[in-house]
Amino acid sequence: MSHQNPNPIHAQNPPQLIAALRRQIARLEGVHRPVRPEGISSGCTPLDRLLPGGGFHRGTLVEWLSAADGSGAESLAIVAAREACREGGVVVVLDPRREFYPPAVARAGIAPQCLLVVQPATEADNHWTLDQALRCAGVAALLAWPDRLDGRTFRRLQLAAEEGGGLGLLLRTQAAQAEPSWADVRLMVEPLPAAETSRGRRLRIDLLRCRHGAGGQSIDVEIDDETHTVHLASPVAAATVRHGCSRAS
């Protein structure tokens, strides 16, 4: 299956990449996106209820940690990006591995003209692009998969998000939990066993850290892959899974 990209930015050498990205950023600076202090819905009502202000905050970073690909963290981040660009602006995706599949974002409700996929050639280019995109006022949300972030780089990204006013969505491995974080919210996502009554994938979201509130809370949710809606998992479904596991043991 081909990865068709409606707005690709990629080049064989860093100068070409940087020049292309600067042109795009200059264009995006003119994109109308109201910068408001209130929260942005995460796209998941049960998670919004755990977060102070009823959602994420513009001009901040959100970390989505998971043990492996396919945990559901990427789907949740895409839903949050959709909410962030409802009032204007674009969604930037950093895809150095060239694994991102844009049609999945379109199915989630993000229009192709609101999507910009950047494919940096090196880790240094990736960090530079991440910083510059977060500073751009026309970027409503940014999705990135940074492998390593030292404290100084993380702090710079947090300041960049404050300057641009968008939402930085960082998808990282579970190992990053042991590292310092400048994210406003840090979440752990893990898949749960399916239940007969489930209409979609079941996930557990652990609120590990929240700058303006208490962490240590968790919720079980379901994602409908057809409508890309997220709702609280049914207690009946959870009970069914536990009962089935106990019989198998």
* pLDDT per residue as tens digits for the range 9-49: 554 455 665 566 666 665 655 554 444 446 899 999 999 99
Task: Give residue 29's pLDDT.
Answer: 54
Considering the domain boundaries, does residue 80 fall inside one?
Answer: yes
Considering the domain boundaries, does residue 3 fall inside one?
Answer: no
Total structural domains within the chain: 1
Q: 168 with 60: CB under 8 angstroms?
A: yes
| Positions in the chain short of pLDDT 50 | 1-5, 11-12, 32-37, 236-249
Give the domain CATH number at 125.
3.40.50.300
Residues 6+ apart with CB under 8 A from 41: 48, 54, 55, 56, 83
% the chain with pLDDT above 70:
76
Write out the residue range of the structural domain in which residue 15 sits: 8-23+37-248
Task: Give residue 148's pLDDT.
Answer: 85
Task: Give residue 198's pLDDT.
Answer: 63
Task: Give residue 241's pLDDT.
Answer: 36
Considering the domain boundaries, does residue 29 fall inside one?
Answer: no
Kindly report whether the global pTM for this prediction surpasses the value 0.75.
Answer: yes
Task: Give residue 212's pLDDT.
Answer: 75
